[in-house]
């Protein structure tokens, strides 16, 4: 999957990215703040698949929206191909969006039920004011559909006539309509059956190779991420806790270890020993001063509860832990 | 002897027959995995076992379900009511919708003990708190007083499991009990269920679409496709020598550690809907090994010891083939 000559500059670079959401004060509650994403540095290498993995509430979907500037960051910056997205005025940002697209988690809600497949695939062209005559539109729709393995005869179909897997293929085709070089894939298979998930992953792999795309792949499934991604960013409650330089790298953070131990392999001779934990995921509104994972971590010490470990680089591996596993 | 013995169970809805002659047997202390994609009839099987088919306008149209030597098919509703929640319990997929949002969770668990075991309010409460503690819920007396919205998804699923256990059942049917949960929580819940089966000698039917969960937790496996049994075997044998092309494909859908990029395939096409089943073997339109006979003839289950497979070209495949 790696390209022969790789430019050193990543396609996407985020620095100190932070997004704070606050609840309004009301009669019953004080105003509360939640940092969904805190101080995240992220490099996405060209032509490669960077994975972000974590459980619900870890900030991975917020991160996806921040890097495309679908959400404004509270602090920090995102540079796409060397261009600082925060400084780009709206018209130029719209042009830039041709190059960066998103595939959403739930194809049932991310596609307009009143649009036919054809309408859905032509909408990006309308938004981007691409002037195409009817024949060119037909050709574009047919081309996109066959690219994602949909029979072009389905162009007049509406979402309710399609299966979940077919809808997600429409979602991918829509993201490809403007010929982007960067796709953010936000749990694109989480709502699909395993058999269909494997189909969609195979399709994404093929597209990535054929079109030389760069992916940011977001998932809660470490097994899938380890199969699909070249580099893996592990998040816990809004922060990056570990970056594995390659999918086979041994995990050094206890949370990454727990994620690996929780993903069951389809092999009864390799059953996992699951240790029952007492701790719960910490309250995101009220994070402890130390490591957010300390309450659930078997390695945790007093230091972990008081002092938050900083993400430190060791070669290509990054880790935020006071008591690394290896 | 088997606690649960299902033989040639068929389910009808109107003129359609979404479940066609399902058979399996399960002993106490064992876990049976019922696997297949959405639309294969897994949840319908659960409804049929629990006698809940009338709720969705369906009926058992053939075959038998014997529970501890009592025939459940045709059992009067009031007798079924005395079994359900007491000797057999159901854990549903979504803990967010199986709890009453207006009632404290403790009261919901207590109800089961009071109704089915005739416990006093105080005794039911004590036993509920004890159950929550056995399910590793910290500070279970406080949790007993909470409302569902105050709890995380994993905690709610434990409460639902506690409700299932409160009647001290012998058989539990768990319909995708971890699908709605995070991976680390899923692993915990599966472990809790396995421990319960081993410690209490329960029988568990675990419905899932995840072959990883099956490999981790189950003793035996029934693979359903489009309302029929494609293959059934012990868990070790089915993963070591998957014989039906559908079983092979389902296992191949889960990426293994160190699997080469580009080698994940998936299964082409999708499960047909009831009413548009192909003639002959229902899997043949998606099967790479299909021949004309697959279209013409329904393959018959071959029986060798614990192994059944419904395929004209059944050939065992090596573990990592």
**Contacting residues for B95 by C-beta, under 8 A, at least 6 apart:** B153, B156, B157, B159, B160, B180
Task: Identify the bridge partners of residue A21 per DSSP, sorted by sequence position.
Answer: A34
For residue range A239-292, list pLDDT tens digits in order.
999 999 999 999 999 999 999 988 888 999 999 888 777 666 777 788 889 999
The reported pLDDT for the residue numbered B93 is: 82
Task: Please determine, for residue B252, whether its predicted confidence score (pLDDT) is greater than 50.
Answer: yes
DSSP bridge pairs for B283: none
Helix (H, G, I), strand (E, B) or coil at A270: helix
User: For the segment A121-169, what is each residue's pLDDT rounded down to a tens digit?
Assistant: 999 988 888 888 999 999 999 999 999 999 999 999 999 999 889 999 9
The mean per-residue pLDDT over the stretch B7-29 comes to 95
The residue among A196, A222, A274, A279 with the most chain B CBs within 10 A of its CB, best to mutate, is A274
For B222-238, how does the pLDDT look when each residue is reduced to its tens digit (9 = 90+)? Answer: 999 999 999 999 999 99
Tens digits of residue pLDDT in A196-229? 899 999 999 999 999 999 999 999 989 899 999 9
User: Long-range contacts of range A313-317, CB-CB < 8 Å, 24 or more positions apart?
Assistant: A315/A245, A316/A243, A316/A245, A317/A242, A317/A243, A317/A244, A317/A245, A317/A249, A317/A252
* Residue of B251, B263, B266 to mutate when probing chain A, most A C-beta within 10 A: B266
The SS3 assignment for A166 reads: helix
Residue A22's pLDDT is 87
Average pLDDT (A62-87) is 94
Residue A2 has pLDDT above 50, yes or no: no
From chain B, the residues in CB contact with A55 under 8 A are 182-185
Burial grade of A214 (CB within 10 A; 0-12, 13-18, 19 or more): buried
Question: So what's the pLDDT on residue B319?
Answer: 45
Q: Check if B318 contacts A (Cβ < 8 Å).
A: no
- Residues A168-189: pLDDT tens digits? 999 999 999 999 999 999 999 9
Query: Measured between CA atoms, how close is A92 to chain B, in angstroms?
Result: 37
Asked if B183 and A195 come within 8 Å (Cβ–Cβ), the reply is no
Query: Residues of B with CB below 8 A from A270's CB?
Result: 215
Mean pLDDT for all residues in chain A: 91
Cβ of A280 and B188 within 8 Å?
no
- Between strands B16-26 and B228-234, the pairing is unpaired
Nearest CA in chain B to A257: B184
Chain A residue with the nearest C-alpha to that of B216 = A271
Here the tokens at position A71 are 């959400």
Is the model's pLDDT at B320 over the cut of 50? Answer: no
CB A60 within 8 A of CB A54: yes
Mean pLDDT of B161-166: 94
In angstroms, the first-to-last Cα distance of chain B is 36
pLDDT at residue number B277: 92
Half-sphere exposure in the Cβ direction for B204 (13 Å, CA) = 32
Q: Measure CB to CB from residue B265 to each of A198, A263, A277 and give the nearest one.
A: A198
The per-residue pLDDT for B116 is 94
Size of interface A-B (CB pairs under 8 A): 139
Q: What is the pLDDT of residues B275-317, one digit of tens each?
A: 889 999 999 999 999 999 999 999 988 878 889 999 999 877 7
Residue of chain B whose alpha carbon sits nearest to that of A283: B152
Residue position matching structure tokens 């960067």 = A182
CB A74, CB A19: distance < 8 Å: yes
- Is B215 close to A268, i.e. CB distance below 8 A? yes
Residue B321 has pLDDT above 70, yes or no: no
Residue-level pLDDT at B318: 61
- Calculate the CA dihedral of residues B132, B134, B139, B142 and round it to 10 degrees: 20
**For residue A276, which residues of chain B lie inside 8 Å, CB to CB?**
136, 188, 191-192
Residues from chain B contacting residue A228 (CB–CB below 8 Å): 255, 261
| Structure-derived torsion over alpha carbons of residues A232, A88, A20, A244, reported in degrees to the nearest 10 | 10
Instruction: Please choose, from the candidates A222, A229, A223, the residue with its C-alpha nearest in 3D space to the C-alpha of residue A204.
Output: A229
Minimal CA separation from A212 to chain B, in Å: 15
Judging contacts by C-beta atoms under 8 Å, the chain A residues touching residue B182 are: 55-56, 220
Largest CA distance in chain A: 69
Q: Which of B138, B155, B253 sits opposite A195 (nearest CB)?
A: B253
The b/e string for B254-275 (b: 16+ C-beta within 10 A; e otherwise) is: bbbeebebeebebbeebbbebe
Q: Which of B183, B210, B268 sits opposite A259 (nearest CB)?
A: B183
pLDDT of B172 higher than 50: yes
Mean pLDDT over A40-64 rounds to 93
Q: What are phi and psi of B168, to 5 degrees?
A: 50, 60
- Decide the pairing of beta strands A49-53 and B302-304: unpaired
One-letter-per-residue 3-state SS of chain B: CCCEEEEEEEEEECCEEEEEEEEEEECCCCEEEEECCCCCCHHHHHHHHCCCHHHHCCEEEEEEEEECCEECCCCCHHHHHHHECCCEEEECCCCCCCCCCCCCHHHHHHHHHHHHHCCCHHHHHHHHHHHHHHCCCCCHHHHHCCCHHHCCHHHHHHHHHHHHHCCCCCEEEEECCCCCCCHHHHHHHHHHHHHHHHHHCCEEEEEECCHHHHHHHCCEEEEEECCEEEEEEEHHHHHHCCCCHHHHHHHHCCCCCCCCCCCCCCCCCCCCCCCCCCCCCCCHHHCCCCCHHHHHCCCCCEEECCEEECCCCCCCCCCCC
R_g of chain A computed on alpha carbons:
21
- Please give the share of chain A, as a percent, with pLDDT higher than 90: 71
pTM score, whole prediction: 0.89
Sign of the C-alpha dihedral computed for residues A132, A172, A245 and A212 taken in this order:
negative
Interacting residues of A81 by C-beta distance below 8 A, sequence separation 6+:
A11, A12, A99
Task: Give the closest-approach CA distance of B99 to chain A in angstroms.
Answer: 20
Question: Which of A111-120, A214-223, A243-252, B172-181 is least confident?
Answer: B172-181
Work out the pLDDT band at A1, boundaries 50, 70, 90.
very low
Q: Is the pLDDT of residue A3 over 60?
A: no
The answer to whether B182 contacts chain A (CB < 8 Å) is yes
Mean pLDDT of chain B: 92
**How far is the C-alpha of B231 from the C-alpha of B299, rounded, in Å?**
11
Residues B121-148, mean pLDDT to the nearest whole number? 92
What is d(CA B105, CA B126) in angstroms, rounded to the nearest whole number?
14
**If residue A231 lies in a helix (H) or strand (E), which one and from where to where?**
strand A231-236
Nearest chain A alpha carbon to B236: A268
Helix/strand/coil for A85: helix
Distance separating alpha carbons of residues B208 and B214, to the nearest angstrom: 8
Residues of B in contact with A193 (CB under 8 A): 37-38, 209
What residues of chain B, 118 to 147, have a C-beta less than 8 Å from chain A? Answer: 136, 138
For residue A78, the model assigns a pLDDT of 96
As a whole number of angstroms, the distance between CA B123 and CA B114 comes to: 9
Cβ-based burial of A207 (10 A; exposed 0-12, middle 13-18, buried ≥19): buried
Q: What's the pLDDT at B314?
A: 85
List CB contacts (< 8 A) between B136 and chain A.
276-278
Q: What angle do CA A321, A322, A324 make, to 5 degrees?
A: 65
pLDDT of residue A272: 87
Distance from CA of A90 to the nearest CA of B (A): 38
Q: How far is CA A129 from the centre of its chain?
A: 28
Most confident of A267-281, B125-139, B159-173: B159-173
Nearest CA in chain A to B319: A267
ipTM of the complex: 0.84
Of B38, B216, B264, the CB nearest to A198: B264
The pLDDT value given to residue B246 = 95
User: At which residue do the structure tokens 């022969």 appear?
Assistant: A4
pLDDT score recorded for residue A278: 64
């Amino acid at each position: 999957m790696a390209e022969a000559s790789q430019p050193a500059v990543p396609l996407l670079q985020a620095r100190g990215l932070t997004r704070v959401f606050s609840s309004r004060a009301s009669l019953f509650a004080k105003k509360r703040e939640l940092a969904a994403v805190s101080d995240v540095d992220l490099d996405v290498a060209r032509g490669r698949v960077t994975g972000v993995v974590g459980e619900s509430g870890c900030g991975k979907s917020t991160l996806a929206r921040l890097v495309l500037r679908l959400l404004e960051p509270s602090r920090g910056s995102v540079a796409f191909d060397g261009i600082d997205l925060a400084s780009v005025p709206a018209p130029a940002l719209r042009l830039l969006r041709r190059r960066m697209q998103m595939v959403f988690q739930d194809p049932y809600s991310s596609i307009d039920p009143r649009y036919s497949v054809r309408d859905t695939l032509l909408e990006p062209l309308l938004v981007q004011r691409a002037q195409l005559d009817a024949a060119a539109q037909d050709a574009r729709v047919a081309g996109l559909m066959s690219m994602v393995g949909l029979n072009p005869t389905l162009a007049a179909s509406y979402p309710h006539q399609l299966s979940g897997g077919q809808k997600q293929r429409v979602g991918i085709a829509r993201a490809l309509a403007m010929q982007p070089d960067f796709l953010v894939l936000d749990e694109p298979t989480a709502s699909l059956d395993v058999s269909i998930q494997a189909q969609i992953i195979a399709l994404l792999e093929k597209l990535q190779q054929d079109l030389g795309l760069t992916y940011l792949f977001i998932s809660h499934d470490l097994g899938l991420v380890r199969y699909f991604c070249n580099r893996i960013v592990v998040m816990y409650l809004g922060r990056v806790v570990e970056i594995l330089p390659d999918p086979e790298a041994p995990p050094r953070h206890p949370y990454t270890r727990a994620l690996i131990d929780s993903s069951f392999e389809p092999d009864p001779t390799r059953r996992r020993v699951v240790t029952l934990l007492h701790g719960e995921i910490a309250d995101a509104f009220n994070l402890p001063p130390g490591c957010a994972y300390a309450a659930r971590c078997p390695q945790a010490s007093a230091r972990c509860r008081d002092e938050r470990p900083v993400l430190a680089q060791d070669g290509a591996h990054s880790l935020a832990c006071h008591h690394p596993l290896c | 002897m088997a606690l649960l013995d299902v033989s040639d169970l068929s389910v009808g809805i109107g003129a359609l027959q979404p479940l066609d002659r399902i058979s399996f047997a399960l002993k106490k202390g064992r876990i049976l995995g019922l696997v297949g994609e959405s639309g294969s009839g897994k949840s319908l099987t659960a409804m049929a076992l629990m006698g809940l088919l009338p709720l969705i306008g369906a009926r058992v149209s053939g075959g038998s379900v014997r529970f501890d030597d009592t025939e459940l098919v045709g059992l009067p509703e009031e007798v079924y009511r005395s079994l359900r929640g007491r000797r057999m319990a159901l854990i549903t997929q979504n803990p967010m919708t199986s709890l009453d949002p207006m009632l404290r969770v403790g009261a919901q668990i207590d109800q089961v003990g009071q109704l089915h075991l005739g416990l006093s309010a105080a005794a039911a409460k004590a036993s509920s708190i004890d159950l929550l503690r056995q399910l590793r819920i910290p500070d279970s007396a406080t949790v007993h007083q909470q409302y569902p919205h105050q709890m995380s998804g994993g905690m709610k699923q434990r409460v639902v499991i506690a409700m299932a256990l409160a009647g001290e059942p012998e058989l539990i049917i768990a319909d995708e009990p971890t699908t709605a949960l995070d991976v680390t929580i899923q692993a915990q819940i599966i472990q809790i269920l396995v421990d319960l089966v081993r410690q209490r000698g329960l029988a568990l039917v675990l419905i899932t679409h995840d072959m990883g969960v099956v490999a981790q937790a189950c003793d035996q496996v029934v693979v359903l496709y489009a309302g029929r049994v494609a293959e059934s075997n012990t868990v070790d044998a089915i993963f070591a020598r998957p014989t039906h092309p559908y079983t092979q494909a389902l296992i191949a859908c889960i990426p293994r550690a160190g699997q080469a990029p580009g080698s994940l395939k998936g299964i082409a096409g999708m499960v047909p809907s009831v009413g548009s089943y192909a003639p002959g073997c229902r899997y043949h339109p998606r099967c790479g090994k299909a021949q004309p006979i697959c279209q013409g003839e329904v393959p018959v289950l071959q029986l060798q010891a614990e192994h059944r497979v419904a395929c004209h070209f059944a050939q065992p495949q090596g573990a990592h083939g």
